[in-house]
Amino acid sequence: MNSGYPLANDLQGSIKNTNYKDWLAMCENNQQYGVNPAAINSSSVSTALKVAGAILKFVNPPAGTVLTVLSAVLPILWPTNTPTPERVWNDFMTNTGNLIDQTVTAYVRTDANAKMTVVKDYLDQYTTKFNTWKREPNNQSYRTAVITQFNLTSAKLRETAVYFSNLVGYELLLLPIYAQVANFNLLLIRDGLINAQEWSLARSAGDQLYNTMVQYTKEYIAHSITWYNKGLDVLRNKSNGQWITFNDYKREMTIQVLDILALFASYDPRRYPADKIDNTKLSKTEFTREIYTALVESPSSKSIAALEAALTRDVHLFTWLKRVDFWTNTIYQDLRFLSANKIGFSYTNSSAMQESGIYGSSGFGSNLTHQIQLNSNVYKTSITDTSSPSNRVTKMDFYKIDGTLASYNSNITPTPEGLRTTFFGFSTNENTPNQPTVNDYTHILSYIKTDVIDYNSNRVSFAWTHKIVDPNNQIYTDAITQVPAVKSNSLNATAKVIKGPGHTGGDLVALTSNGTLSGRMEIQCKTSIFNDPTRSYGLRIRYAANSPIVLNVSYVLQGVSRGTTISTESTFSRPNNIIPTDLKYEEFRYKDPFDAIVPMRLSSNQLITIAIQPSNMTSNNQVIIDRIEIIPITQSVLDETENQNLESEREVVNALFTNDAKDALNIGTTDYDIDQAANPVECISEELYPKEKMLLLDEVKNAKQLSQSRNVLQNGDFESATLGWTTSDNITIQEDDPIFKGHYLHMSGAREIDGTIFPTYIFQKIDESKLKPYTRYLVRGFVGSSKDVELVVSRYGEEIDAIMNVPADLNYLYPSTFDCEGSNRCETSAVPANIGNTSDMSYSCQYDTGKKHVVCQDSHQFSFTIDTGALDTNENIGVWVMFKISSPDGYASLDNLEVIEEGPIDGEALSRVKHMEKKWNDQMEAKRSETQQAYDVAKQAINALFTNVQDEALQFDTTLAQIQYAEYLVQSIPYVYNDWLSDVPGMNYDIYVELDARVAQARYLYDTRNIIKNGDFTQGVMGWHVTGNADVQQIDGVSVLVLSNWSAGVSQNVHLQHNHGYVLRVIAKKEGPGNGYVTLMDCEENQEKLTFTSCEEGYITKTVDVFPDTDRVRIEIGETEGSFYIESIELICMNE
């Protein structure tokens, strides 16, 4: 027999030389499968079932006190009631060899037994010393002895596991033994972690041991799954392979290997804390996988793939068998045999009966003869069929755990000769492995399928599930309840069951999306009976996901729904976004929607519906749920939670700094990180850890001070309101959002008044004195939520210009309730994965040298860089940081703004900043030249208005037009206002203000010396008496009185001193025929008139000296025809 490759041999080789007499004997002994049924249902399977039972405590432990799980397992694997202690290990090798048709060589058998004998010796010594120490835990010598033996035993187990995994050619043959050794190793490490404090292990040593457990778990599972699948592939692809062999392998290796792997995740004492009273008590793991036994002809006429489809179920939610219907061929009395069946089943905690299709032949001559209601689980079945020809079924019995029997009987007459009965079931009794009793059964019947061979012959398969699966999803009051996702009772159209990877104990539920609808699953659980009004529970989800996805998690109790939201991590990736059926152990994560701080509050003996549904999924997103876990919030859980919180916060705080001295922050530590680190530190129990809490608080406060001292931006956390910032009116500093710690900036949308947009803004200039030359600075901050907020950071130009649109998706971080003491930050709900440690967040808003303008979506944390060149304190270029909202419906909440030094620049960055610096200097030189030219012209025009440099009086011949022209020149001065904000001063603002003030002075003097009120018509016709068609119009930015008809008239009576001379000066123009005129007359009927005609082009200035004889004069404006335009009228005393 070829042993070069374990599965390369023909399984039929073991019977190919048998004669007919031997063949008949095999048939009569139920050996119709081509291998000995004792090998299939061997003692090794019963032993594996007992091992799992001892760990999960559904099998009674051996006599005596069990202080470690290992003490319960060792007597099963090395039984004392046998003359050959290595019998169990021989059985494992023999059974696996039969399954894969590989001979166990004497060398391999002897070597494996020798290795396991050594393992037993080490384990015996450990359990003995462990039990001795446990009885006297304060005895130092006992403690030292057990720690020493722990280390020796752990090393030996690891060495043995590695040896078996590397024994080339026998990896699969030894796989069940390898799984048991791996199990020993992880259970041993669990003991070490549980007792680490009592063994006085340093925290670092405990962490190292925990990391070892995680690493070993990953390796042990990976090796086992790899070789299990290789065995499947070889059997599946054999040219003459038989399904019954393939199925036997799946069933037996599931029990001997995969079920053991499914326990490993629950060994983690940090995630599944050991019971304080009974350390051997583990969180109950449920095996929801189905295994199959079958009555199949040999050899079968169908391929493995065809029979796999005909005799096993596709992936499905976990079901409970409720009814079996049978059809019988009834045409001939002596040919009444089973012909078909149908199944009635229900989902967990569902009263609705589901029905399968009909399996087999229910056509002509076949009638429904039996409908068997199964009101109790079936733990054993038997089939009676003919031996020649085989597979003609006449009877089937179902043994129920309530002690009753249900049967199918075809009532064939006469009774055929050569009937045989085959039993199916799973027992921990090695002597009757396939004939369990109600006291030693391990599996219950879950499904039956019939497949036609010919008219009267049928194959029949039985599906079995482990009895440990709870029919009610009962929630324990004193232990973590694990509920596999496949025990859901409802999935929507985009949620589906997928094949499990082999180490999860069953299949999984994938939540996908069609782009419109996201997958949703609902699991119903039942609370236990207790006396308290309510009890508190946490909820944890074991999942895998191909991207960060927000999950809505809710529970409904007595019609009241409560929910929260969590975010997953991205844990796996597959090509073309295929849904994986090969997820690795390390690709699963845990998330707690409800915990000890914000728990589920459940009433006694009630059904609770837990729903999970992603939000905003794309068609490429996948979340795969393994199970949910419901955790009673007991005092021990709270204490353990506090301890874990303390250690977690210590790690978080330490990570803020660069060294143990804690005198410098990591460059990646943000101001927001420090604020968020402070919150949970403040929530550490002062009763349990007063000293530790005080030390951590001091360290966090020190981190905050270091953060503020390195921040060249003033008041970036707004704790001093707007100190250091220049703002528009519609910004506020608030402190009502628990996303932020303390104050934060709230920006409202831009104001729109009469069609003009007035942006909301806040900015700060960092002075040159705070900066270092040729240095890169990080510009960072946190956005709670925003819409259309623009960030501009500039030194030599708009180096950073980013629009940030960030959704308000962090409201669930803390409850939005406040009392007189403010929000209770210790009562947090689930924190998203991308928020818990914001330093690890992916910055979607980052500096990109190839882009000047960036649009940032979704990222709450932003980070950009800006570089300085040479410093010039006189020029004081500085760095400008500005936030601006230009749309009325925009908004933003911001905090923890900082500009910190990253380090000196060199290479390409240095060259780039020097280039930018030169370009900026050239531009500034051009701007200065342009400014000087405009300034000189405007100043010269303004100087000409006044009589002296003090601007005390206007030149007598200064006109309004001259003042308006000077004003125009001042308004033409460039760079008065900021490039980004029209009302914020720019580089020329000071000289503009200087010249504008002089123009205003000229205008004031002009208005003061003009005796005529509103002579420039800037106030319309106020102060004038108007008749007819006359009004003031804005023409080229100037107020002009317009008379459009001869009947129009405008006049004003003026008081003056009659013993003075005056100058009447009018700037006007006439259009069309006729004349326009301005007349001044006194009470003595003396008058002076200024006449304007259209022959005079454009506006002209006319004056006349007047010497009124009275102190009252009248000014009249009129025209004879056409239109008359008057820009200004002045009456000036000659003494001015």
Alpha carbon 1057 to chain centroid, angstroms: 86
Angle, helices 87-100 vs 175-194, to 10°: value is: 130
Which numeric CATH code is attached to 291-466?
2.100.10.10
Q: 329 to each of 334, 369, 412, 807, how far by Cα in Å?
A: 10, 9, 10, 67
What is the per-residue pLDDT across 55-99, written as a single tens digit (0 to 9) for each?
988 555 555 556 889 999 999 999 987 778 789 999 999 999 999
Beta 1075-1082 vs 1087-1093: how paired, if at all? antiparallel
1129: which 2 tokens?
A: 């009228």
Q: Where in the chain is the domain with CATH 2.60.120.260?
A: 474-633, 726-905, 1025-1133
Architecture field, domain 726-905 = Sandwich (2.60)
Which of these CATH numbers, 3.40.190.10, 2.170.190.11, 3.30.980.10, 2.60.120.260, describes 1025-1133?
2.60.120.260
As a residue count, the chain comes to 1136
Q: Where in the chain are all domains bearing CATH 1.20.190.10? A: 42-267
Question: Quick count: other Cβ atoms within 10 Å of Cβ 226?
Answer: 14
| CA 1044 to mean position of chain CA atoms | 74
Rounded CA separation 348/358 (Å): 23
Contacts 24+ apart (CB under 8 A), 449-452: 449/310, 449/311, 449/312, 449/313, 449/341, 449/359, 450/338, 450/339, 450/340, 450/341, 450/359, 450/360, 451/302, 451/307, 451/310, 451/311, 451/359, 451/360, 452/339, 452/360, 452/361
User: Which string of DSSP letters, residue by residue, matches 605-660?
Assistant: T-EEEEEEEEES--TT--EEEEEEEEEE--HHHHHHHHHHHHHHHHHHHHHHBSST
How large is the C-alpha radius of gyration of the chain?
46
**Whether 416 contacts 392, CB under 8 Å:** yes
Chunked into runs of 10 residues, the chain (1136 residues) has average pLDDT values of 31 36 34 33 84 79 68 92 85 93 93 97 96 93 96 97 96 97 97 89 74 97 98 91 94 98 95 81 92 91 93 98 98 96 97 96 95 97 94 97 97 94 94 93 98 92 98 92 97 98 98 95 95 91 96 93 93 94 97 84 94 92 97 78 83 94 95 92 86 94 97 95 92 89 94 90 95 96 94 88 85 40 48 35 46 60 93 93 95 96 95 93 93 95 93 89 92 90 88 94 90 92 92 92 93 88 94 94 90 92 92 94 94 84
Topology of domain 474-633 in CATH is Jelly Rolls (2.60.120)
Backbone angles phi, psi at 719, to 5 degrees: -70, -20
What is the distance between the alpha carbons of residues 240 and 304, in angstroms, rounded to a whole number? 10
pLDDT in tens, 363-374: 999 999 999 999
- Strands (E) across 354-440 are located at 354-360, 366-373, 378-387, 390-400, 405-409, 419-425
pLDDT of residue 826: 63
Q: Name the nearest CA neighbour of 677 among 695, 658, 659, 704.
A: 704
* Neighbouring-strand partners of residue 855: 803
d(CA 1007, CA 790) in angstroms, rounded, equals 45
Residues 422-435 as b/e (b if ≥16 CB within 10 A, e otherwise) read bbbbbbbbbeebbb
Phi, psi of 103 (to 5 degrees): -75, 135
Q: Hey, which residues does 631 pair with through a beta bridge?
A: 538
pLDDT at 238: 86
Span 542-559, pLDDT tens digits: 999 999 999 999 999 989
- The number of beta carbons lying within 10 Å of the beta carbon of residue 276 is 12
> Does the N-terminal peptide bond of residue 773 adopt cis geometry, omega within 30 degrees of 0?
no
Instruction: DSSP letter for 768, please.
Output: G
Residue found by looking up tokens 């610096």 in the block: 917
Structure tokens at 393: 């079924």
Every domain of the chain with CATH number 2.100.10.10 lies at: 291-466
Q: What are the tokens at 43?
A: 């003692």
> How far is Cα 358 from Cα 960, in angstroms, rounded to an integer?
105
| C-beta of residue 531 within 8 angstroms of C-beta of residue 604 | yes
User: How would you write 875-902 as a 3-class SS string?
Assistant: CCCCEEEEEEECCCCCEEEEEEEEEEEE
List the one residue out of 223, 563, 287 whose CA is nearest residue 426: 287
Contact 883, 761 (CB under 8 A): yes
> CATH number of the domain at 42-267, please?
1.20.190.10
Q: Are 1132 and 956 in contact (CB under 8 A)?
A: yes
Per-residue pLDDT tens digits for 384-412: 999 988 999 999 999 999 999 999 999 99
